[in-house]
């Protein structure tokens, strides 16, 4: 029977055109009232000036406007308006200003002219990279190679990034790859899961707290932002961030400083922010669940990770990667247990829809390896596993939901049950070693220790 040998080079598949997966934030000034109504300019330079003199980037034909009225600086992924000592002043949403950060929808009035600051997502055409891997990400599909191409460009920068995609698509691997190729590989990479922290603790976990600021705060503690100083903070499940915390996060991003809970003293931060969500944040903004100004601030670069069913041509390469790199396929001496996969087995991998995406594929490959008798993964090794997946044999029972309590409380109960079960199993697998468990789970060790203490799970410490 034909087999695929993973010691040899995989042949490149033919690429097909598909929808773009990258969008960049673009901003414009549009004259909405005045003599030059309808005129607009894209803010494409680090500094742009507006006034009635001909050498301005945007020339406003209005006698009540100064020759150099105001300028806009691009600073830390945001646009800062600065009045240049104009005669009649610059007004933002009816208030006179000297210097202010702009948000989408802001109205700027100078003399008899009104301008609107507009932000929008622009899909861009990206030439696919020649590479088939970036960090731990692998793929030869056009969409993935486009992602590799943009990651090559943005990783060394300080650009804020939003990563969108279904659960299990590898959004965390994108964030890790950016960090590894940022030129600051030795700098901190702090993962903060916005959906995994109790609502009453999330502000303290993000921004830190001072001793005595709340019950149980026995000593001062820095938060995730301070821990990430000089590096990257990865805000996973950003779409779950409570509405009352969104303006505080926005303020931290704009002012590049945070305030610990219980303190009025600002702490300067030098942190690059990468976010991930399985939601469509643009739709969340339209539904009123996510602040537009925060979305604008975060979406300098937006990357949509395709589901596995959208890139079936990547499956053989991903399987190859798992077999070569994952510990479950290695003997104690480091040699590989399975080195080949039958063509029939590969066809079974490719026919399945993979609702759990790459994470589910990883679990299936790991189980199949445990069934393999020799060095070849066969159709027989997979038949039982796919029978379970496709026909629902031995499905996990549906968890009990108490609909008689408020949604927020019910959700918290589900999250706490998940955390308790996950952490118990995680620590058991790592012989209750906190350091090993935190590395495997890719969460901050201090955060893990707090969760373990919360659920009274034993450790070796």
Provide mean pLDDT across the span 60-67.
Answer: 95
**pTM, entire model:** 0.73
Over the stretch 174-225, which tens digit does the pLDDT of each residue have? 999 999 999 878 899 999 999 888 888 888 889 988 887 777 778 888 999 9
Of 90-94, 287-291, 323-327, 416-420, the least confident: 416-420
Confidence of residue 254 (pLDDT cuts 50, 70, 90): confident
**Of 81-85, 156-160, 283-287, 455-459, where does the model show the most confidence?**
81-85
Q: What is the largest CA-CA distance in the chain?
A: 85
Least confident of 97-111, 129-143, 345-359, 426-440: 426-440
- Residue spans of the domains in the chain: they are 26-120, 126-213+220-304, 308-392, 407-455
308-392 is classed CATH 1.10.8.60: yes
- pLDDT interval class at 452 (50, 70, 90): confident
pLDDT at 147: 94
* CA gap 178, 164 in Å, rounded: 15
Residues 6+ apart with CB under 8 A from 113: 31, 33, 34, 35, 36, 60, 62, 64, 65
| Residue 332: pLDDT band with limits 50, 70, 90 | confident
* CB 201, CB 215: distance < 8 Å: no
pLDDT for 131 equals 95
pLDDT tens, position by position, 123-145: 877 889 999 999 999 999 999 99
Strand partners, 33: 114
Residues of the chain with pLDDT > 70: what percent? 92
Q: Would you identify the CATH topology of the domain 26-120?
A: Tumour Suppressor Smad4 (2.60.200)
What are the tens digits of pLDDT across the range 142-174?
A: 999 999 999 999 999 989 999 999 999 999 999
Average pLDDT over residues 361-382: 91
Q: Is the pLDDT of residue 21 over 60?
A: yes
pLDDT of residue 371 exceeding 50, the answer is yes
Flag whether pLDDT at 384 surpasses 90: no
User: Is it the case that residue 47 has pLDDT exceeding 90?
Assistant: yes
pLDDT digits (tens, 9 = 90+) for 301-312: 999 999 999 999
pLDDT at position 336:
93
Structurally, at CATH architecture level, domain 126-213+220-304 sits in: 3-Layer(aba) Sandwich (3.40)
pLDDT greater than 50 at residue 15? no
Model pLDDT, residue 399: 59
At residue 17, the pLDDT reads 43
Angle between helices 434-441 and 407-429 (to 10 degrees): 120
Q: Do 26-120 and 126-213+220-304 come out as alike in CATH topology?
A: no
């Amino acid at each position: 029977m034909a087999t695929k040998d993973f010691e040899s080079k995989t042949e490149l598949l033919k690429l097909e055109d598909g929808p773009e997966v990258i969008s960049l934030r673009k901003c414009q000034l549009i004259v909405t009232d005045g003599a030059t109504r309808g005129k607009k300019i894209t803010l494409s330079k680090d500094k742009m000036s507006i006034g009635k003199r001909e050498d301005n980037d945007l020339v406003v034909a209005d006698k009540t406007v100064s020759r150099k009225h105001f300028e806009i600086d691009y600073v830390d992924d945001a646009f800062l308006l600065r009045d240049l000592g104009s005669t009649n002043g610059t007004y933002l949403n009816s208030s006179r200003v000297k210097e202010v950060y702009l948000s989408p929808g802001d109205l700027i009035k100078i003399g008899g002219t009104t301008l609107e600051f507009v932000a929008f997502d622009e899909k861009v055409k990206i030439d696919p990279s020649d590479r088939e891997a970036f960090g731990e990400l692998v793929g030869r599909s056009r969409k993935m190679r486009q992602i590799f191409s943009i990651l090559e460009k943005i990783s060394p920068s300080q650009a804020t990034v939003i990563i969108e995609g279904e659960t299990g698509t590898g959004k965390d691997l994108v964030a890790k790859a950016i960090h590894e190729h940022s030129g600051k590989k030795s700098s901190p990479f702090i993962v903060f899961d916005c959906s995994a922290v109790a609502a009453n603790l999330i502000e303290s976990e993000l921004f830190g707290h001072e001793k005595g600021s709340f019950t149980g705060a026995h000593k001062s503690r820095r938060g995730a932002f301070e821990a990430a100083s000089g590096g990257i903070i990865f805000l996973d499940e950003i779409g779950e961030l409570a509405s009352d915390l969104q303006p505080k996060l926005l303020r931290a991003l704009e002012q590049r400083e945070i305030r610990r809970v219980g303190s009025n003293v600002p702490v300067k931060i030098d942190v690059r922010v990468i976010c991930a969500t399985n939601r469509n944040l643009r739709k969340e903004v339209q539904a009123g669940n996510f602040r537009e100004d925060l979305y604008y601030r975060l979406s300098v670069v937006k990357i949509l990770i395709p589901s596995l069913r959208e890139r079936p041509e990547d499956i053989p390469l991903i399987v190859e990667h798992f077999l070569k790199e994952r510990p479950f396929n290695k003997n104690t001496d480091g040699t590989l247990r399975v080195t080949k996969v039958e063509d029939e087995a590969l066809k079974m991998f490719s026919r399945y829809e993979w609702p759990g995406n790459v994470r589910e594929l990883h679990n299936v490959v790991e189980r199949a390896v445990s069934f393999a008798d020799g060095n070849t993964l066969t159709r027989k090794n997979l038949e039982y596993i796919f029978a379970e997946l496709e026909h629902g044999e031995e499905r996990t029972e549906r968890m009990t939901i108490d609909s008689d309590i408020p949604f927020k409380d019910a959700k918290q109960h589900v999250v706490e049950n998940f955390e308790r079960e996950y952490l118990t199993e995680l620590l058991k697998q790592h012989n209750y070693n906190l350091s090993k468990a935190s590395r495997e789970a890719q969460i901050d060790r201090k955060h893990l220790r707090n969760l373990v203490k919360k659920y009274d799970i034993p450790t070796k410490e």
